[in-house]
Chain A
């Protein structure tokens, strides 16, 4: 059992490191929106502890544990990563850093970027110095995402970008945006898109938040007016940006489906969560919650299984649509049950049960963003089951 003992040694060392380096303040509030450190040029740390925690983790590569060391990661294997998350959960440690750079752009760059691009873009993401947002959807390109109209005119050493993006999450707080831009209007719709990297401070970039039903404004509209984008700020090949976009959507779907730990409420059982607000669950609620718990556990195992498969060289591929569909639909159900358990206390903004209503409303976007549930089912139907289009 050589593997087992190496794993145990890793666990022991990690446990010691966490014990010594994770500040007490960072061992509470795990998994809540308010506890997230997003990083970026304009990030205001909520405490010295948050700053210390980020810096200590970044120095070890623990903000992006599985990325290669030369790009700011810790180069952990899948098994070590599992242990890492278990040990973090054991002491209830907050994630040191979350960002679209970590979830989406990073994986895309690791797959499609040149070595120079990786060296240039990845370490600042890992250290939380640059915050990225995603420019995919447009007013006329929702489920029909490839219908992007934002145009990049070829001007020799740069593209001149004009157009509008919508649902650009946290664009008003971000430093950079990765965007799908049509660079060939004559090609078929999937073949004329490029994946461009644009600085939010560039002249001609404007963004404004959209107030959502949950009362907050995580989403924005972003406008590009004659924005100059140098030719080296492209990921992958010109007009082949759809390949990058699709690859990245796979990551996004896995993340939304609960890979970020949100789905299972940081591993806490739904029964326990509901009991926080209701001493005895009535029969119907209890039965619904049990079903929800069973499905949640099984979906959690499915995420593990796909990670194991991907380590064994079999990617999740189109099955990520399944993860996204099942995970988000379940998360919505879970929050419906939490609202029921909260009773009238859950109906007040920031009442006795905190922001439960806001969290509940936020989950309604889960089955829309990153591809609707219906789009996911169509993907499974065509690509997995081979049913005719």
Chain B
């Protein structure tokens, strides 16, 4: 029975991650990248790969550190705290989990490339404004031994810079997941100008050729591979958002202790104390859902859906609360671009939407709880 407390190894990992990120990627790094219009830091990602983060879910036989989902959550949570930009979720969590469901020779080779940090992936699933993989309309028409992909994907996170794409498309009897290079003929990518200053793209597929080898898993059975990958991504994103909430809250509580009005620190006012305390309570409760999701994915992945959706729903709620309270309690300065709180707010909103919003996950919880 794994407990809902961090193990010694996980605690060490969290401490190490925090120490590293405070030095290598504080919020000022995010600001600099935003100012320069950069959405990828290859050097930073290489360093993360060297620490085993890119291979956190890759088997050791493929050069990974194979630390598991709870550990991936720990890393994501620390990244959220300082708004670190990296392909961690897209490549190390989502793509690695998908490839691992297959684990044939080709998949193992792909996993090795993820672990080394040399290849990045993006998941091209969404087509409308809401996450809804079951409603995928993009078609992969059978053509001889292969397929022809035609259609449009949107909100493909890390899609503008990724080396490879995992693409969900409709085939004769169901949905199929393709693993193809992003520069294949017929693919055109348009980078979206995102509020969180990160990479997301609209991608068009115009009669793109795919062979049977490009299919990840079985034809017409994408969900066997995609569902675990989505769940891993949702849990890690929830962890990131919980870290984000903690980061925003730490800024806010720090500000309450320093800012003086009416001759005293504003943190002496009970109206603000209780708002801050309530936020801490919400964050603490959400943290339990994150821990639980990691444990379930590691120990009982077949039955992890409730735990994952619970974590994503709670984290969405908590992150949104943390940034709203953050701006409100900072007052006017919280509204300025020169101050970091706005970055937290914008990332929280993107995280809230990605891989299913609150309602999407609340419905999943409801479905398994007899509503």
Contacts and interface: CB of A to CB of B under 8 A. Distances in A.
B288 A304 contact: yes
Given A290-B362, A308-B4, A385 B280 contact: yes
A387 B253 contact: yes
A376 B365 CA distance: 29
Contact of B285 (A4, A269, A298, A385): A298
Q: Which of B4, B268, B270, B276 has most A Cβ within 10 Å? A: B4
Nearest to A303: B288
Contacts of A299: 285
A145 interface: no
Given A305-B288, A305-B291, A378-B270, A275 B370 contact: yes
Given A298-B314, A326-B285, A381-B277, A388 B369 contact: no
B313 interface: yes
Contacts of A326: 281-282, 285
Contact of B284 (A7, A291, A304, A322): A322
A301 B1 contact: no
Given A377-B273, A380-B280, A302 B285 contact: yes
Interface string B1-40: 1011100000000000000000000000000000000000
B318 to A, nearest CB: 9
B313 A294 contact: yes
A99 to B, nearest CB: 28
Contact of B277 (A289, A290, A308, A378): A378
Contacts of B288: 298, 301-302, 304-305
Interface residues of A, number: 48
B321 to A, nearest CB: 12
Given A293-B366, A322-B280, A305 B1 contact: no
B365 A388 contact: no
Interface in B254-273: 256-257, 265, 267-268, 270, 273
A290 B278 contact: no
Interface string B273-307: 11011101110111111011000000000000000
Q: Which of A269, A289, A302, A325 has most B Cβ within 10 Å? A: A302
Interface string A19-32: 00000000000000
Contacts of A4: 1
B257 A7 contact: no
Contacts of A275: 370-371
A297 interface: yes
B267 A305 contact: no
B352 to A, nearest CB: 15
Q: DSSP majority for the A interface? A: helix
A388 B4 contact: no
A308 B3 contact: yes
B257 A386 contact: yes
A301 B296 CA distance: 12
A377 B292 contact: no
A374 B267 CA distance: 16
Contact of A312 (B5, B253, B276, B277): B5
Q: Which of B268, B281, B310, B366 has most A Cβ within 10 Å? A: B281
Contact of A377 (B265, B278, B285, B362): B278
A7 B277 CA distance: 39
Contacts of B253: 385-387
Nearest to B274: A377
Contacts of A302: 284-285, 287-288
Nearest to B315: A298
A95 to B, nearest CB: 23
Contacts of A297: 289, 310, 365, 369
Contacts of B286: 298
A314 B6 CA distance: 12
Contact of B370 (A272, A314, A374, A382): A272
A36 interface: no
A378 B272 CA distance: 10
Given A378-B277, A388-B257, A82 B1 contact: yes
B224 to A, nearest CB: 27
A328 to B, nearest CB: 12
B257 to A, nearest CB: 7
Interface in A1-27: 3-4, 7
A319 interface: yes
Nearest to A269: B369
A298 B284 CA distance: 10
Interface string A272-287: 1001000001000011
A79 interface: yes
A291 B371 CA distance: 12
A298 B274 contact: no
Q: Which of B270, B276, B371 has most A Cβ within 10 Å? A: B371
Given A269-B369, A302-B285, A309-B5, A381 B273 contact: yes
A84 B369 CA distance: 23
A294 B287 CA distance: 13
Nearest to A309: B5
A286 B273 CA distance: 33
Contact of A289 (B274, B280, B281, B371): B371
Contacts of A380: 277, 280-281
A144 interface: no
Nearest to A301: B288
Interface string A306-350: 001101101000010010011000000000000000000000000
A295 interface: yes
A374 B369 CA distance: 32
Contacts of A64: none
A325 B362 contact: no
A75 interface: no
5 contacts: A294-B365, A297-B289, A312-B3, A381-B273, A386-B253
Which 10 pairs from chain A and chain B are nearest by CB?
A: A271-B371, A381-B273, A305-B4, A380-B277, A269-B369, A272-B370, A301-B288, A302-B288, A308-B3, A377-B277
Given A293-B365, A386-B257, A388-B265, 11 more contacts: A4-B1, A269-B370, A289-B371, A294-B313, A312-B3, A314-B5, A380-B280, A384-B280, A387-B257, A387-B267, A388-B257
